[in-house]
Amino acid sequence: MTSARTRARMIDRLRERGIRDERVLAALAAVPRHLFVEEALASRAYEDTALPLGSSQTISQPYVVARMIEILRAGGRELGKTLEIGAGCGYQASVLAELADEVYAVERIGVLVERARLNLRRAGQLKVRLQYADGQFGLPEAAPFDTIILAAATPQLPPALLSQLAPGGRMILPLGASEQHLSLIERRPEGFVESRLDDVRFVPLRQGVE
């Protein structure tokens, strides 16, 4: 279930679904997803599906992780200094760390922060700087960021995150409440430009810490 062949099958499925960025595919192939899921679900780790983490959260579907990062890298862009909101178990942060210069990840649920720290250590991923904080406020002490990625849906663009996006930077997030879509925000000289993309379904971005 954790063999190179099993991981390769996951990558083949992502290619079949239209993921073309070979560096993104290599990053997903490099991350041992079975270390980030509940032990009872390890046999399903390389299925292209979201899996429960507890605390009403999920580990993101590999296709969605790949799709969001591929969009951010479109046009041959590098991720640069990256902020992830909603670190969960640390899986997407680990994928980002294969591609970005620096990765900061924020999670609001304390038990998940501890689990993510353990998972990242087990995976040998020491590059991610994990913070226990309310994600809607971003991480102003480390801003600005070239890339911001949200793993939870919000009905409107969070002003704090927009302000922490570097000039020329890109942010991708699930936008909406009952109906959601991926939204790409680019900070251009003339202002913020938004592009509406795929329909998606994410857990909501909640306030506060617990």
Residues acting as catalytic residues: 60
* Helices 62-73 & 4-16 angle (0-180, nearest 10): 60
Name residue, tokens 């879509």. 181
Work out the number of other CB atoms within 10 angstroms of the CB of residue 194.
11
Q: Report cis status (omega within 30 of 0) of the bond before 189.
A: no
1 three-state secondary structure:
coil
106: nearest Cα among 80, 133, 124, 125: 133
